[in-house]
Amino acid sequence: MTNDWILDVLADLKAFADTNGLGVLSLQLDETAMVAAAEISSRAIRVQAEAYGDTEHDKPSTGGLGCHQHA
């Protein structure tokens, strides 16, 4: 993935926060890193699906709670 560098930057910022007693910032950076990793992964999956012609991948599911499907 070409956007993994942002995870390294967030890790460096977290290390700085930890070293300098910035506990709340450190916790926030943990959460931010998780969001970044999820979005990077999601984007990679979407790009790969598009490369293979999967145009249904981005469409919302019609299933789920409260939905009735008939065969």
Q: What is the reported pTM?
A: 0.63
- State how far the alpha carbon of 69 is from the alpha carbons of 57, 60, 64, 65, in Å: 19, 15, 9, 11
pLDDT(67) > 60: no
Residues 6+ away with beta carbon under 8 Å from 13: 25, 29
pLDDT(70) > 80: no
pLDDT(57) > 70: no
How confident is the model over 11-41, as pLDDT tens digits?
A: 999 999 999 999 999 999 999 999 999 999 9
Which residue ranges make up each domain of the chain?
Answer: 5-51
